[in-house]
Amino acid sequence: MQRVDEADLAALLAPLAWERQGSELVKVVRRQDFAGALAYVNDVARLAERAGHHPDVDIRWNTVTLRLSTHSLGGITDADLELAGQIDALTG
Amino acid sequence: MQRVDEADLAALLAPLAWERQGSELVKVVRRQDFAGALAYVNDVARLAERAGHHPDVDIRWNTVTLRLSTHSLGGITDADLELAGQIDALTG
């Protein structure tokens, strides 16, 4: 796992539906209701378990906020970007 | 659904494993890992769906934070206390 160089980050983020906030990548997804939000979280969790890398997850009724960061390396890594792309593929 | 009188709240909270923080009830639960945390959230969600009342849920790897409040009534209601008790029963 490697921290991404600041100079490369903007280009790597361009194809992703995540917003950078400081040392985190953030994605907000809305579903029809709480059950839909939870189903989405369970889908994300399957990818996270496979990657051995886990986003922070907040559920507010129908709205899920995901935050990806590699705390041990103090920033955004290739592992974050890879999982971010896999999660984007979930939501189409 | 009714807001609980401030005068009654301490006694009603005494048997519950929730902490009051302002207009919310807060419960923090740790599991062995992310999968355990998510399994717990799915158990909580089943109770929430049955109650038609949903806590805010935060997952940080193995740690789940639940927040119960009735935003439409601006505080803690009988519905919050009832669901809090049901969730306590889950965790034994």
- CB contacts < 8 A (A, B): 38
* pLDDT 10s digits, B36-84: 999 999 999 999 999 999 999 999 999 999 999 998 888 999 999 999 9
Q: Which chain B residues contact residue A42 at CB under 8 A?
A: 38, 42
User: Which of A48, A57, A61 is closest, CB to CB, to B54?
Assistant: A61
Contact (CB<8Å) B35/A54? no
- pLDDT higher than 70, residue B92: no
What's the pLDDT score for residue A74? Answer: 86
Confidence of residue B91 (pLDDT cuts 50, 70, 90): low
Give the other-Cβ count within 10 Å of B73's Cβ: 15
Confidence of residue B1 (pLDDT cuts 50, 70, 90): confident
Q: Which chain A residues contact residue B57 at CB under 8 A?
A: 57-59
Domains defined along chain B, listed by start = 6-91 (3.30.1360.20)
User: Which of A42, A48, A58 is closest, CB to CB, to B58?
Assistant: A58
Residue segments in chain A with a per-residue pLDDT below the cut of 50: 92
The Cα–Cα gap between B5 and A78 comes to: 52
Query: What is the reported pTM?
Result: 0.94
Q: Does the interface predicted TM-score (ipTM) exceed 0.95?
A: no
Return the closest-CA partner of residue A12 out of A85, A88, A86: A85
- B1-19 in b/e form (b: 16+ CB < 10 A) is eeebeeeebeebbeebebe
- pLDDT higher than 90, residue B85: yes
